[in-house]
Amino acid sequence: RVSTRPAVLSRAGSLIAMTRDPGARERGKFVVLGGGSFGCAMALLLARKGHRVDLLVRKPQVCDQINEQRRNPLHLSEFEFPALVRATTDPAEAFADAQYMCHAVPVQFSRAALTEVKPHIAPDMPILSLSKGIEQGSLSLMCDLLGNIVGDEHPMAFLSGPAFAREIAAELATAVVIASHTPGLAAEFGAILSSDVFRCYYTPDVIGVEVGGAVKNVIAIAAGMCEGLGLGTNAMAALVTRGCSETRRLALALGASAVTIGGLSGVGDTFGTCFGPLSRNRQVGVRLGQGESLREILASSNEVAEGVATSLSVVELIKQNDRSYRLDLKFPILFGVAEILQGKRTPREGLLALMTMPLRIED
């Protein structure tokens, strides 16, 4: 079981969560942890709304270039940072007068990155996690990983949905969902981030939002394989629909609400990553489908495709939470992607396995 916290608050609980003075801390200073694409996009978004942002990065040369040239040379380099954004490699400096923190480090590196900055995080500093995935080994979602490090009672929220960094940076209309168990916090972050090009919905269903965001990356790899194999629209639509069913089945087993999986962080993000051209996870799948090895693909990119590690975590998580017979028939896409990534079958063998499964009721 990944979490001991309730996945869905009562109606009364969610009402309180929606009504706590949103916007009360507007124009505070933010620390954004992680200078990859999404950290940069979030820094741009916050600064455009008038917030000061310290972007905490690892590499001194990236830090210097951001401060001197106002651009990150490695990610979204065509976008110029406003003067309100400053890069630093020093957590003490970044957290000194900050009121909020955004976490944008890939999940598999998050535990180490958070452990390093933990001494600087004030006990009441709200944290907004932007990362999507399941940690290998512990099988933790970000809510559990963060809870382990800063404490389960720490104010935290989780943002997910179809939100490509490049489109946010380009100020193209985007809608996301923010989940939190902390009363009022999802609304507070929503008020801070929302604008006429960025719209935030709220929910108390943290597990649903996190499972939707993590599993869609695995489904996106499968969708990419579908394209790489040269299959058509029929196959893609079927794969994505059945993928959403598997996401819903897992989310319900973990205590989430089906409404969340039908929303922005489930179906919405799955559509965005599977049907659009921007997804790195989908691109991994396309290249696998075209016959490249996973090793070659990963070696050729400086961006993280979270679905690769999460695929292996997700099958372990399913095995832990669902003891029913033949899980590979209940979650054939998720188990199939993991086997392909482990080199146990080719994408074409995976396709044949899906097409020749025992016939069944649609659920």
Ligand X SMILES: O=C(CO)COP(=O)(O)O
Query: Which residues are part of a known binding site for NAD(+)?
Result: 34-39, 109, 165, 280
Active site residue 216: yes
- Contacts to ligand NAI from residues 295-354, by CB under 6 A: 303-304, 306
Q: How far is the CB of 284 from ligand X (least distance, A)?
A: 8
x/- map, 138-167, ligand X, by CB under 6 A: ------------------------xxx---
Which residue of 52, 280, 287, 330 would you call a contact of ligand X, by CB under 6 A? 280
Instruction: Exactly one of 59, 118, 216, 330 is catalytic; name it.
Output: 216
SS (H, E, C) the chain: CCCCCCCCCCHHHHHHHHHCCCCCCCCCEEEEECCCHHHHHHHHHHHHCCCEEEEECCCHHHHHHHHHHCCCCCCCCCCCCCCCEEEECCHHHHHCCCCEEEECCCHHHHHHHHHHHHHHCCCCCCEEECCCCCCCCCCCCHHHHHHHHHCCCCCEEEEECCCCHHHHHCCCCEEEEEEECCCCHHHHHHHHHCECCEEEEEECCHHHHHHHHHHHHHHHHHHHHHHHCCCCHHHHHHHHHHHHHHHHHHHHHCCCCHHHHCCHHHHHHHHHHHHCCCCHHHHHHHHHHCCCCHHHHHHCCCCCCHHHHHHHHHHHHHHHHCCCCCHHHHCHHHHHHHHHHCCCCCHHHHHHHHHCCCCCCCC
State yes or no: residue 129 binds ligand X (CB under 6 A). Answer: no
x/- map, 202-231, ligand NAI, by CB under 6 A: ------------------------------
State yes or no: residue 131 binds ligand X (CB under 6 A). Answer: no
Which one, 217 or 247, has the nearer CB to ligand X? 217
Which residue of 22, 36, 91, 266 would you call a contact of ligand NAI, by CB under 6 A? 36
State yes or no: residue 243 binds ligand NAI (CB under 6 A). Answer: no
State yes or no: residue 220 binds ligand X (CB under 6 A). Answer: yes
State yes or no: residue 63 binds ligand NAI (CB under 6 A). Answer: no
Q: Which partner from the list ligand NAI, ligand X, none does 65 bind, CB cut-off 5 to 8 Å by kind?
A: none
Instruction: Give the number of other Cβ atoms within 10 Å of residue 321's Cβ.
Output: 15
Task: Copy the structure tokens of residue 17.
Answer: 């969560």
State yes or no: residue 75 binds ligand NAI (CB under 6 A). Answer: yes
Among 196-204, 243-251, 274-282, 323-331, which window interacts with ligand X (CB under 6 A)? 274-282
Q: How far is the CB of 157 from ligand X (least distance, A)?
A: 17
State yes or no: residue 95 binds ligand X (CB under 6 A). Answer: no
Note the residues at the interface with ligand X (CB under 6 A).
Answer: 132, 162-164, 217, 220, 269, 272-273, 279-281, 306
Note the residues at the interface with ligand NAI (CB under 6 A).
Answer: 34-39, 58, 75, 104-107, 109, 112-113, 130-133, 163-165, 303-304, 306
